[in-house]
Amino acid sequence: MLRSRSRAASIYAFLAFFALASLIGKSNASLGDHLPDFKECVEVCKTENCQDGDSVIPFHLRLMLWTCPAECDYTCQHVVTDRRVSRDPPMLTPVVQFHGKWPFRRILGMQEPFSVLFSLLNFLAHWQGMNRIEENVPRWHPLRKYYLGFGYFGLASWTFSMLFHSRDFPITEKLDYFGAGASVLYGLFLSVLRIFRLDQERPKYKPTLRRFWTFICVLLYSLHVCYLSFWSWDYTYNMIANVIVGIIQNVLWTAFSIYRYQKQPRTWTAWPGMIVAWIILAMSLELLDFPPWHGLIDAHSLWHLGTVIPTAWWYSFLVKDVQDDMAGERLKA
Considering the domain 113-332 in this protein, what is its CATH number? 1.20.1070.10
Q: Which of 197, 185, 196, 93 is nearest to 141 (CA)?
A: 197
How much is the pLDDT for 51?
A: 82
Per-residue pLDDT of the chain (333 residues; tens, 9 = 90+): 434 444 444 444 444 444 444 444 444 457 888 899 999 999 999 998 888 776 678 888 999 999 999 999 999 999 999 988 888 765 566 789 998 889 999 999 999 999 999 999 999 999 999 999 999 999 999 999 999 999 999 999 999 999 999 999 999 999 999 999 999 999 999 999 999 999 998 898 999 999 999 999 999 999 999 999 999 999 899 999 999 999 999 999 999 999 999 999 999 999 999 999 999 999 888 777 888 888 899 999 999 999 999 999 999 999 999 999 998 766 565
Q: Note the pTM of the prediction, 2 decimals.
A: 0.87
> By C-alpha distance, which of 101, 116, 130, 91 is closest to 30?
101
Q: What is the pLDDT of residues 299-324, one digit of tens each?
A: 999 999 999 999 999 999 999 999 99
CB–CB of 3/134 below 8 Å? yes
Beta bridge partners of 98: 101
DSSP labels for 260-327? HHHHS--GGGGHHHHHHHHHHHHHTHHHH-PPPBTTTB-HHHHHHHHTHHHHHHHHHHHHHHHHHHHH
Q: Is residue 220 classed exposed, middle or buried when 0-12, 13-18 and 19+ CB atoms within 10 A define those classes?
A: middle
Q: What is the pLDDT of residue 304?
A: 95
Helix (H, G, I), strand (E, B) or coil at 257: helix
Identify whether the C-beta of residue 319 lies closer than 8 Å to the C-beta of residue 136: yes
Note whether 225 and 242 are within 8 A (CB): no
Return the amino acid letter for 263.
K
- Residue 177 identity: Y
What pLDDT, on a 0 to 100 scale, did the predictor assign at position 94? 79
Model pLDDT for residues 186-233, shown as the tens digit of each residue: 999 999 999 999 999 889 899 999 999 999 999 999 999 999 999 999
Residue 93's pLDDT is 67
pLDDT at 100: 85
3-state secondary structure of 131: helix
Residue ranges per domain, the chain?
29-99, 113-332
